[in-house]
Every structure is written in structure tokens, then in C-alpha cells.
Structure 1
């Protein structure tokens, strides 16, 4: 009987720990007719206006393609903001994919980008490594969002406000 209780408690503890682990959260809403009320650039601008972030700079299509390995031709719209100084891991990236069949590829490229952000901070700045580890990736229809921030949950709330189901 004691053995059974220990097993059940161990299973419950394992579920609680896995539910509470940070980062790599992907909330999928595969409904393709979801449309944002603003452009990617307007969304990113409002997000950083409402939730204070370190100084971030906007990437050009060429810079985005180099950092994310995403062909800009696959995107209808995007906005990527990275830190001006390489002492922070904060990043906000919003991609509106033209073809729903390419959403998984864009999401995979975003996951690779997160790994690339984490690497230099692993031994350099542990707090920024933890920040990157606790990133958020959100998929809504043809939109893919990446947020790396201490305020990721607040940024996601602002992002969610741009969408209404049709």
C-alpha cells in the first residue's frame, strides 16, 4: 500500500513539475482565418510601448533572413526586434506567413533562433540565458510570435489583444 502511495505521489509531482517548467511554450491556434488588427510592425511597436523593454532595433529583411534563415518571400509581413547591445537576450519577432503550409517551417526556424540566442549566454550571462530559456512561441493561424523577455507574459497579453476570431 505504501509503495502504491509513493508511486502515485511521484506521478503527481512529475506532472506538476512538467506543468510549471518555463520556456518553449507554444500555444497553437491553427484556425487559419485569424487576422490581426494591425501590421506586424505596429504590433511590435505597441508591445514595446506598453511593456518596457531594453533598447531594441528593427531588423531589415536581409538581417532577418540571416538570423532566422527564413525566406522573406514566404512572409506576408514581419517585424523582428533584437537588442542594440549584446548584453541582453530580449527579442520580439512577429511573422505573418503567406501560406499556412509554411507555418511549421517558420516555427521550426524560430526554435533554431532561440537556441542560437541561448548559446552565447549559457556561460557568459546566466540571467540572460535563463531569460532566453523561458521564451514564448505562440502560433495563431498564419502568425508566429517569439518573445524573449522577463515580461514575456505581459507582452503576449498585448499581442493577444490584436486578434479577434472571425
Structure 2
């Protein structure tokens, strides 16, 4: 009888240890915890949960035109803009090469926000409201700019990527 009790305690100890290792491994290996994604990967995560159907993906030429930045200025980026110039929807995710570039890039995005605000203020009030409620935030080397009816969903996905 005593042997069975000892064997039970041993099995319980092994199971407890296995659970603890599994739990700790799961916490440290949490996807997104290391922030080692490209901007495109972050954009793909957003696209899976947020409706970007009324937007089209932009390229380096469009990025330069809208933000006066070169794709060489950043490590990676993903850009979606409204398929029509009478809509304000926009999504930009940037991964910086270096933290020291953050202020400069943020200034360029602020200039874009100001231009969109002026464009839609008197022309399209509903689009102007979207621009006013934009999301602009940073997380380490990443910048998110979103103008969308689903900006809150986009922001949540962005936050969850790095938490």
C-alpha cells in the first residue's frame, strides 16, 4: 500500500512539473511577445479580423506620394487606402529600422492627417468624422495609423499582437 502512495505522489509531482513547464513555455513563447514581425505580418493579422474590403493595398510609390517617405526610410510597411478618393479609409503599419526615426515618421503621418482633415472637413462630413477619430499609436518599433469605421478593432488587433 505504501508503494502505491509513493508512486501516486511521484506521478502527481511529474504531472505538476510538466504542467508548470508547459505553462511557462506558453507564456514566454506567446505569439507576438517578441515583436519580431514585419509590418506586412501585422497587417495580415489585422486583415483577418477587420473588414478592409473597401480598401486597396498601396505600394512604395503610393507610400511616398501620401507620406513623403521612401520605403527605404522604414524596415517594412503595409498600406491600405480607400478605393475612391471620396473616402477617408486608410491603414498604415510601419516597422521602423531604428527608434530614432520615430519622431520624423510620426510628423509625416501627422501631416497626412492634417491634409485629410482639410480635404474632408467641409466636403464629406461622415469621412471627416472618421479622420477625427483616427488611431495613431506606437508600440516599440511599430507605428499604426488607422482611419476606419473599424478603427477600434484594428487597434485591438495591433495591441494584441504585442501583448
Unaligned runs of at least 5 residues, structure 1: 1-33
Summarize the Cα distance change of 1:35–1:45 in structure 2 as closer, same or farther, 3 Å threshold: same
Counterpart in 2 of 1:76?
A: 75
Q: Which has the larger radius of gyration?
A: 2
* Stretches (4+) displaced over 4 A: none
Instruction: Name whichever structure is richer in strand by fraction.
Output: 1
Q: CA deviation at 1:54?
A: 4.3
Question: Quick check: 2:38–2:95 contact (8 Å CA) kept in 1?
Answer: no
Counterpart in 2 of 1:41?
A: 40
Q: How many Å separate the matches in 2 of 1:109 and 1:128?
A: 21
- Aligned-residue Cα RMSD (Å) equals 1.7
Normalising by structure 2, we get a TM-score of 0.73
Greater mean deviation of Cα atoms: 39-48 or 112-121: 39-48
Normalising by structure 1, we get a TM-score of 0.72
Greater mean deviation of Cα atoms: 43-52 or 73-82: 43-52
Q: Which of structures 1 and 2 has the larger relative contact order (alpha carbons within 8 angstroms, sep 6+)?
A: 1
Q: How many Å separate the matches in 2 of 1:130 and 1:82?
A: 17
